[in-house]
Amino acid sequence: MTVRRPGLLLAALLLTACHRSPAANTLEQQLIFTANGTFDAQADHRDRLPGGLRSVVWTTHPPLQAAAMTITYDGDSRAQAWNLIVEKPTFSAQDAAGAGAATVQTAQGPALRPAATSGLKDVLVLRAGEALRLVTRGYAAQRDPDLLSAFR
């Protein structure tokens, strides 16, 4: 007698589909996860700022290989409007921007714009001394309009 267990088969298929691929551990993915709040629970500080902004600061255990990280974002649209400062990262601006990134000129100096196929396609990567600054188009539109021309 054969016992059919469609629930078991479905569970196995779901586990296979949800299994994290090696690509999920790329720098691009980690930057996206950080920006979207995945690592907020391990932050040292979370604050509300004037103008509907919020910030999250990691100094003891930043989510990426860096001395510290700070994200400032629009409390109503975090995924679209954020500014991430990565202090003394062990990776370069080119690493953050990924393959195929274009160099663009901004009022704040040269920046990298990730390729259109990147999960960071609407982000600029700027060098700021020993830090990197990643800024979304949405954040630039709201808080830093002199960067908007670099998104065209």
Q: Pairing between strand 53-58 and 68-74?
A: antiparallel
Domain edges within the chain: 25-151
Beta carbons of 56 and 78 less than 8 angstroms apart: no
pLDDT in the model for residue 17: 42
pLDDT for residue 24: 57
Task: Please list the rounded mean pLDDT of every run of 10 residues in the chain (152 residues).
Answer: 48 40 76 97 97 97 97 96 98 97 96 97 96 98 96 91
Q: Compute the C-alpha angle 50/28/88, nearest 5°.
A: 65
149: closest CA among 12, 32, 140? 140
The pLDDT of residue 3: 52
pLDDT at 10: 39
Q: Is the Cβ–Cβ distance between 68 and 58 less than 8 Å?
A: yes
Question: Given this model, what pLDDT does residue 65 score?
Answer: 96
User: Could you give the CA distance from residue 50 to residue 63 in angstroms, rounded to a whole number?
Assistant: 26
The pLDDT value given to residue 25: 87
Burial class (CB in 10 A: 0-12, 13-18, 19+), 17: exposed
